[in-house]
Structure 1
C-alpha cells in the first residue's frame, strides 16, 4: 500500500513539473544603446539614461525610470519598434 501511495505521489509530482512553463527567451535581436542581444532572456536588465531601444524581437520591452525595473514605466517598446527615452532599467517580456 505504501508503494502504491508513493507511486501515485511521484506520478502527480512529475505531472506538475511537466506542466510548468519554463522561462522563455524573446526571439530576435534586441539592440540597446547600440549593443545587440540575440534572443534575450525574459527579465530585467540595467542600463544608463537616456536609453535607445531597437526592438527586433517578438516580445515587448518596458523601460523603467529606476534600477531593477522599479519606478515609473517610461516607455513600452513593441516588437518591430524603436524608441529613445529616459530610464535606468528595462524588462524583456
Structure 2
C-alpha cells in the first residue's frame, strides 16, 4: 500500500532555503579564505600562477555579486517583501548557480 507523499509547506521551504544559505555562505567563506591565502604566497613560479588564478576568481565573484546577487536580493526584499535572511539565502542560490555556469 502506498503512503501519501508529505505535503511541503511554505515554512518547510523557507527552512530548507535558510539551511542552504547557511551552508553555502560557510563554503564560500572557506573557498575565499583559501584563495586569499594563495594571493599571499610569494610570487615565484607556480605560486605566481596560482596567485593570478585566485585574483581572477575574486574578480569574477565581485562581478557576479554586482550583477546577480545584489539585484536579486533587492528584488526579493522590495517586491516580494521577504525577510532579509530568507531573501539573502535565495539570492545566494542564484549567485552560486551563476558562478557554476561561469566555471
Q: TM-score, normalised by structure 1?
A: 0.32
The answer to which structure, 1 or 2, has the higher relative contact order (CA under 8 A, 6+ apart) is 2
Q: TM-score, normalised by structure 2?
A: 0.30
Return the structure number with greater strand share. 1
Structure exhibiting the larger radius of gyration computed from Cα positions = 1
Return the structure number with greater helix share. 2
